[in-house]
Amino acid sequence: MKFRNTAPYFSFTNQQRKGIFFLLIIIIALQLFYFFSDFSQAEKSQPEKEQWLSLQSEVDSLKAIKYNEKPKIYPFNPNFISDYKGYKLGMSVQEIDRLFAYRKENKYVNSAEEFQKVTKVSDSLLNVISPYFKFPNWIQNKKNFKAYDKGYLSQPFKKEDIIVLDINQAVKEDFMKINGIGEGLSQRILKQKESLEAFVSMEQINDVWGLPPEVILELKKYFKVSSFPKIKKIPVNDASLKELSQFPYFKYTLAKQIVTYRSMNGKIKNIEDLINIKGFPVEKANIISLYLEF
């Protein structure tokens, strides 16, 4: 009975049957089209992306070369090797501690052999790092200087065929006698000397801007620091920020670091304390110490 009530819903006319048939054909055709068609989009060419990728590969290769390079070692004074510097050079903790203990006695090593004797580094390590040792000129030129003791240079130079003048007594005309030095460079040398009160080492000539290397060699032939000059030393623990920043070897940033270090750690006892401050010119520590009072 119920089936008879629903039977009218399943009876179709001839036209309706044709419509259903065509609908089924369309559905099957769409399914086949969807199944066999490739809807993936062709990747568009992007010249900028290709160029970036080529540059990136070049950057990666340069980075690989950089990481494989050994760090360059610059000349340094072995008396002022820090923990980190010693580690990078290949020294053991015990070897570094021996050097620190020696320096605490206010002693300096003056040669590669003496450095090995104090630290007991191996011959192989000494052969690698000793070519980079740079000692002060009063150590290297022992014929002209007494042994360096507490920063004083007292013995005058030996007589030579040429007349050697004390650079701290020289005037503008004396410098102008050197080939390559005119009035401008002569004034610049004198200005550098006045800013320091006096030169304590001929190595300070290297700091005068504009002097060619060959002219510096000539200056060192005809001028010397014949005796340690009288200079008013800077009291590191009492000097103000302004006074410290006016010292030619201390710029404002370093002077500020020194004042901060004083306030946080107390009095600065020696040059070694200053070396620990970021930005301190370690390679000039021996010279700078002669201008300071601790």
- List, as one string, the DSSP characters of 91-153: --HHHHHHHHHHHHTT----SHHHHHHHH---HHHHHHHGGGB---HHHH-TTTSPPPBTTB-
Tell me the Ramachandran region of residue 224: left when phi exceeds 0, alpha when psi lies from -120 to 50, beta otherwise.
Answer: beta
162 phi/psi in degrees, rounded to 5: -95, 155
Task: Provide the whole-model pTM.
Answer: 0.45
Give the pLDDT confidence score for residue 191 in this predicted structure: 93
Give the pLDDT confidence score for residue 196 in this predicted structure: 92
Please return the burial class of 211, using the count of CB atoms within 10 Å of its CB with bins 0-12, 13-18 and 19+: buried
Q: What is the average pLDDT value for the chain, to the nearest integer? A: 80
Least confident of 56-60, 88-92, 142-146, 192-196: 142-146
Q: Which of 220, 156, 230, 257 is nearest to 208 (CA)?
A: 220
HSE-up of 68 (CA within 13 Å, CB side)? 6
Least confident of 25-34, 82-91, 221-230: 82-91
Least confident of 149-163, 179-193, 202-216, 217-231: 149-163
Give the pLDDT confidence score for residue 226 in this predicted structure: 87
The structural domains of the chain, ordered by start, are: 78-135 (no CATH), 138-224 (1.10.150.320), 234-293 (1.10.150)
Give the pLDDT confidence of 241-266 residue by residue, as tens digits.
Answer: 999 999 999 989 999 999 999 999 88
Q: Are 77 and 140 in contact (CB under 8 A)?
A: no
Pairwise pLDDT comparison (13 vs 282), residue with the higher score: 282
Q: Tell me what percent of the residues of the chain surpass a pLDDT of 90.
A: 31
Give the pLDDT confidence score for residue 141 in this predicted structure: 54
62 pLDDT tier (thresholds 50, 70, 90)? low
40 pLDDT tier (thresholds 50, 70, 90)? low
Q: How far apart (Å, rounded) are the C-alpha atoms in residues 113 and 118? A: 9
Q: How far apart (Å, rounded) are the C-alpha atoms in residues 165 and 247? A: 26
Give the pLDDT confidence of 103-119 residue by residue, as tens digits.
Answer: 888 788 888 899 999 99
85 pLDDT tier (thresholds 50, 70, 90)? confident
Q: How far apart (Å, rounded) are the C-alpha atoms in residues 219 and 260? A: 39
Q: Which two three-digit tokens encode residue 75?
A: 């000349």
Give the pLDDT confidence score for residue 152 in this predicted structure: 38
187 pLDDT tier (thresholds 50, 70, 90)? very high
Q: Which two three-digit tokens encode residue 17?
A: 């049957």
